[in-house]
Amino acid sequence: MKNDLKIVGIQADLVWENSTKNIAFFEQEIKKLASDIDLIVLPEMFTSGFTMSPEKVAEKMDGFTVSWMQKIAFEKQTAICGSLVISDDDNFYNRFIFVFPSGDIETYDKRHSFTLAGEDKVYTSGSKKIIIEYKGWKICPLICYDLRFPVWARNSENYDLLLFVANWPIARIKAWDTLLKARAIENMSYVVGVNRTGTDANNYEYSGNSLIIDYLGEELSALGVNEVGNITATIFKDKQVNVREKLGFLNDMDTFSVEY
């Protein structure tokens, strides 16, 4: 088990439906990172922006972007993750992909489709919450709109780190900030939220405001409005365990069942 985990989240102004330019940007930023990074987190749909035209940008699991992620993970000896549009079994998915330094992959399909934008009309929702085991840490990956549903994020698995990747618009950025901190506090978990900046082809504006938060809701790293850059923090398992044992809040939580 690795007691400390160094995390970098990359906040970008995504180029609409242009995987070539987006991947070139992320590769340039990743090359600048130190060699001791354990986990790199990219935004939701980091190759395209939040498009409702999946047929224009969808890739297969053996396609270019996943192979690129495997290459980066191997070269940097780090894990890398983010979501992109995947075509699988004649369906389109907003799929979170986590690549280990070994090249092994775990995936999570977004559970809560953003009906306001019609995501439910073009993407197939996932039905399985996953916990990723990495360097002795239990990591729960979720995507954007999932943030609004605390039962789905409930820490019944005793995870250590909650990841949210997003294209969360500036019009509701106060909710983004508030809910990230709420998820951290109620689950006594570190939380990383990586959002995008810029304006998309539908004229929706995104301000970023990416955050790394500790298990008590304190900010460890943050980016301001419209900043392109990185959030970076080292998180510590022993400190989290000590506080959980001292306060015992997770022992008193209610249980819920989720229907599919």
Q: Which residue has the tokens 């495997």?
A: 70
What CA–CA distance (Å, rounded) separates 135 from 137?
6
Residue 144 annotated in active site: yes
User: Active-site residue among 17, 29, 44, 106?
Assistant: 44
Single-letter code of the amino acid located at 133? E
Q: Report how far apart the first and last C-alpha atoms of the chain are (Å, whole number).
A: 34
Task: State the CB neighbour count (10 A cutoff) for residue 43.
Answer: 33
User: Active-site residue among 81, 144, 181, 237?
Assistant: 144
Q: Can you give the C-alpha Rg of the chain in angstroms? A: 17
Q: Are strands 197-199 and 205-207 parallel, antiparallel or unpaired?
A: antiparallel
Residue 56 annotated in active site: no
Task: Report residue 191 as tokens.
Answer: 């939380």
Q: What are phi and psi of 184, to 5 degrees?
A: -65, -45
Contact indicator for 143, 110 with CB cutoff of 8 Å: yes
* Degrees, nearest 5: CA angle 152-49-82: 50
Task: Report residue 189 as tokens.
Answer: 């978990």
Say which residues have a Cβ less than 8 Å from residue 215's Cβ, sequence separation at least 6. 184, 185, 187, 188, 189, 190, 240, 243, 244
Residue 110 annotated in active site: yes
User: Active-site residue among 17, 106, 110, 237?
Assistant: 110
Contact indicator for 161, 189 with CB cutoff of 8 Å: yes
Active site residues per annotation: 44, 110, 144
